[in-house]
Amino acid sequence: MTITFPSISISTDRLVMRPFEMADIPAYIEMMNDEAVTAWMDGPNPYTQVDAERWVRRIAPAERTAGHGIALAVTEFLTQRLVGSVRLLNTDWRTRSTEVRYITAPWARGEGYATESVLAIAQWLFRDQGFERIELRTPADNTASQQVAQKLGCISEGVLRNARIARTRTENGTDGGWTDIRTDLIVWGLLPEDLEGVAEQLADAGDYGTYNTWK
């Protein structure tokens, strides 16, 4: 029997994290074609309507049903606007460990939404699902992603050299203006004890909307 995560909705004061819906597609396409996302993520470029429909209809649901992880849309609680996404993958059910990746829409950056969403899913994993480890892998030059890991209390565990292909802008338009480059990955680990006091610290600093519930 395949072990899977439940179909879940997780909420904080400011955010709702839920399965992707067809109504998310226009905002998701816009987010995935943002330059910062294109540079660091390995999705299709340009990201099309067909790509988005495939993600919402097939790929994202299959992540959960196949037992690999779960992919959730992150939306603002008040406006329902798509803030970004958070995804668990490479889940090891025997060791109760998984990797987390996150994307934030351009308009929502600088509000602490990525930290808030990853913290909420980490609390759910540790408290409700009995997980013992979450791993983050951030490209060496992606300082914004590294700041999220640091705010969460993640421990830097080492560097995977030349382990990821990213993209950089080129002057040659024949390749769409992008070319592949290799980059190191910084590996971060988060254990249940690492989260002690983190939510309170972030709330005091005004960087995090208090965690509420999941269902």
What is the average pLDDT score of the chain? Answer: 92
User: Which structure tokens are listed for 78?
Assistant: 């008040």
Residue 12 dihedral angles phi and psi, to the nearest 5°: -125, -175
- For the chain, the domains span 10-206
pLDDT category at 11 given cuts 50, 70, 90 is very high
What's the rounded Cα separation, in Å, for the pair 60 and 68?
A: 10
Q: Summarize the confidence of residues 54-67 as an average pLDDT.
A: 97
Query: Percent of the chain at pLDDT above 90?
Result: 84
State mean pLDDT over 104-119.
Answer: 95
DSSP 8-state symbol, 57: I
Class of domain 10-206: alpha beta
pLDDT at 215 over 60: no
Pairing of the two strands 155-169 and 97-104: unpaired
The set of residues, in sequence order, having a beta carbon less than 8 Å from that of 14 and lying 6+ positions away, is 76, 77, 78, 113, 116, 209
User: 127-183, pLDDT tens digit by residue?
Assistant: 999 999 999 999 999 999 999 999 999 999 999 999 999 999 886 655 568 999 999
More confident residue, 57 or 203: 57
Report pLDDT digits (tens) over 62-72.
999 999 999 99
